[in-house]
Chains A and B, each alone.
Chain A
Amino acid sequence: MLKIENLHARVEDKAILRGINLEVKPGEVHAIMGPNGSGKSTLSSVIAGKEEYEVTDGNIIFDGEDIDELAAEERAHKGIFLSFQYPVEIPGVSVTNFMKTAINETRKAQGLEEMPAKDMLKLIREKSELLEIDRKFLSRSLNEGFSGGEKKRNEIFQMAMLEPKLAILDETDSGLDIDALRIVANGVNKLKNENNAVVVITHYQRLLDYIVPDFVHVLYDGRIVKSGGKELAHELEEKGYDWIKEEANA
């Protein structure tokens, strides 16, 4: 589904991604871990199509197509979703109106009619129940004044509404209390099936107890320096990153 080959990216003169290789197949869950500033959020932004970053080498292939030239919205229409580490506040646009616009624009791009208002309401009800989001919440301005945890839960609500093929969850667990973490992880698991895939970026094992990865990768200094199974996450939790850094720098 996603194939990243030798990806290099920079911002201004600073090289951030320095040769990433990663393949994600349908039905898989991948975890990406790694120290602060190693390039995890940059990688997710580049996959989602943030223009600020310049891809200097390599390819991102999604469903067999090189998506390097595609705008962020076109990638979204193909089924790529990014849950932001820092969701952006959009005052003046309610969660509901934002989602209606996002869904209908996506449908339009796919040559479908707008979703009838009744179906939209039903979908909103269903997904907000799944994530235990209060209806009142949905009429508030998007992310404005939301607590850290509320923002993250709202990201997963959006994911649930859009049902992407590939979801990248960038530190969705940070800011969530234990109950919220369970609700959000449960939401992600409910949406998971053999046709879609999830990439979770996290610093902590606790999320991976709920969303169990098939593969764990360690990103360090713009490269994936180690990959393994779910036991690698336990090892990192125990030992930290020093040994990885030593190995990588050797």
Chain B
Amino acid sequence: MDLKDKLVSSFLAFENRVDNDAYVHDVRTDAFKIFEEKGFPTKKDEAWKYTSLNSVLKQDYSLFPKQEDALEYRDVKKYFIHDIDSYKIVFIDGKYSSHLSQTTHDGMDVCLMSAALSKPKYQLVIQNYFNKVATTDSLTSLNTAFSSEGAFIHIPKNKIVEKPIQIVHFSTGNEAATMLQPRNLIVVDENSHVQIIERHQSLTENPVLTNSVTEIFANKRAIVDYYKIQNDNHNASLIDNTFINQKRESHASVHTFSFGGKLTRNNLNFFQNGERIDSTLKGVTIIGDKQHVDHNTLVHHIEPNCESHQDYKGIFDDNATGVFNGKVIVEKEAQKTNAFQANNNILISDKATINTKPQLEIFADDVKCSHGCTIGQLDESAMFYMRSRGIPEKEAKGLLMYAFSNNVLSSVKIPEIKQRITKLIANKLGVNIGFEV
């Protein structure tokens, strides 16, 4: 049975098993119909021209992995930003791990999607926000149909959340192959500020496919900073669908650090519903072997006086492949929009490839939009300069690549994350970047 058939035939039983609110039931049922009709995207779809899901879809995934394996914190500590105090929402094979988590209901909700979907006290929030910004493409619909668990974060107005929130999904390989579909909902009300770190981590050699959906609502003047650390092992694939709905004067940023995994597809969508909104999309991709990372971004400028800043850097070695597909839409009403987009890439090996394609659809006349993409090699004269100062070839390469990705790091607000990312970059490049950041 292929994966689609397997998903389709298991839907009813799944729906009967999970707690059911009538509203959520309808949303799931509608989404299921969409997925059933559309199926998985193929390379014939324009948005999937350079990313084939064939190899990841052919595994025989277990859709509802068995109950959690206990993990000891000390064994998985390294996957957390552990040197800061933080809230943690942790899942093992899709199931919540209370043992590893630190949630709260004290003046805000940092808890579980399953609770939000089933408990009456969250009914209103769910009806107002759940599946309200997610689109109806087939993979998002698939996730919506099977949505039952993930992180639920609701920050009421005028609250600055001092501690960052870490959302971590582990897969243990209890099953031969596992498919996970986490669903996160994050609502940040007026004037509030939150920082979130998300990571998917497979602890097994067995194949794992994650199809994740995150909806973020940044209400009036809210500030949301989101960091995605994608450094999974070579048998784990991730399709990350993130949707951000911004209201007036809100600031939202998403930094995506893609250093690992077999296939990673980021569908990152910003919708600006208000004036004076600021959206930031940044990414550093460093991959090798046969790894594949695809960034598919959308910024939809709907109202006047807003900004968006996109800056993606990619370093590709061996047979690695990259895709950057950045779409910016500026509606007719969205006068005085400033939209910037940059995608710069370095190909280290002759066999690595990158497909980069900006798409600007501008219907307003008084706007400032810029985009640029470059594909290059390492600067030979810089290499010689550094080596002539005694820095060995490998370190010089590493330093140049670190420098190349540096301006993406400069906007990371949490120093511990910046340090961690620098270390990951250094590890990835096999160098000791011999200085503090």
Contacts and interface: CB of A to CB of B under 8 A. Distances in A.
Interface of A: 45, 48-52, 71-73, 75-77, 81-82, 84, 87-93, 96-98, 100-106, 109, 114, 141, 158, 162
Contacts of A109: 390, 392
Contact of B435 (A75, A92, A100): A100
B387 A71 contact: yes
Given A73-B393, A97-B435, A90 B387 contact: no
Contacts of A90: 382, 385-386, 399-400, 403
Given A88-B381, A92-B406, A97-B435, A76 B399 contact: no
Contacts of A141: 403
14 contacts: A48-B384, A50-B388, A51-B384, A72-B384, A76-B387, A76-B388, A90-B382, A98-B399, A102-B389, A105-B390, A105-B392, A105-B395, A158-B389, A162-B389
Given A52-B380, A100-B434, A105-B391, A92 B386 contact: no
A106 B381 CA distance: 20
A92 B399 CA distance: 9
B399 A101 contact: yes
Contact of B388 (A72, A92, A96, A114): A72
Contacts of B400: 90
B396 to A, nearest CB: 8
B382 to A, nearest CB: 5
B386 to A, nearest CB: 7
B402 interface: yes
Nearest to B379: A88
Nearest to B409: A92
Nearest to B435: A97
A49 B403 contact: no
B399 A93 contact: yes
B390 A88 contact: no
B390 A91 contact: no
A243 to B, nearest CB: 35
Contact of B390 (A76, A84, A89, A93): A76
Interface of A is mostly: helix
A49 B392 CA distance: 13
B381, B385, B392: which has the most chain A beta carbons within 10 Å?
A: B385
Given A92-B403, A93-B403, A114-B434, A106 B380 contact: no
Contacts of A92: 402-404, 406-407
Given A87-B385, A88-B381, A90-B386, A102 B391 contact: yes
Given A88-B381, A92-B402, A92-B407, A82 B388 contact: yes
A168 to B, nearest CB: 10
B382, B384, B389, B403: which has the most chain A beta carbons within 10 Å?
A: B389
A84 B385 contact: yes
Nearest to B433: A101
Nearest to B400: A90
Contacts of A89: 382
Given A71-B387, A93-B402, 15 more contacts: A48-B384, A49-B388, A51-B384, A73-B396, A88-B385, A90-B382, A98-B389, A98-B399, A100-B434, A101-B395, A101-B434, A105-B390, A105-B392, A105-B395, A114-B434
B403 A91 contact: yes
A162 B390 contact: yes
B391 A101 contact: yes
B385 A101 contact: no
A93 to B, nearest CB: 5
Contacts of A102: 386, 389-391
A32 to B, nearest CB: 18
A72 B387 contact: yes
A189 B402 CA distance: 36
Contacts of B404: 92
Contacts of B406: 91-93
Interface in B338-384: 379-382, 384
A5 B393 CA distance: 28
Given A90-B385, A100-B435, A71 B393 contact: yes
Nearest to A79: B390
Contacts of B393: 71, 73
A73 B390 contact: yes
Contacts of B434: 97, 100-101, 104-105, 114
B272 to A, nearest CB: 30
Nearest to B405: A92
Contacts of A101: 391, 395, 399, 433-435
B403 A73 contact: no
B382 A77 contact: no
A102 B381 CA distance: 17
Contacts of B396: 73
Contacts of B402: 92-93
Interface in B416-434: 433-434
Contacts of B388: 48-50, 72-73, 75-76, 81-82
Contacts of B386: 90, 98, 102
A103 B434 CA distance: 10
A163 to B, nearest CB: 12
A89 B386 CA distance: 11
A88 B389 contact: no
Contacts of B435: 96-97, 100-101
Nearest to A82: B388
A50 B381 CA distance: 9
Nearest to A44: B388
B395 to A, nearest CB: 6
A91 B379 CA distance: 12
A91 B405 CA distance: 10
Nearest to A80: B388
B423 to A, nearest CB: 15
Nearest to B407: A92
B391, B399, B402, B433: which has the most chain A beta carbons within 10 Å?
A: B391
Nearest to A51: B384
A106 B403 contact: no
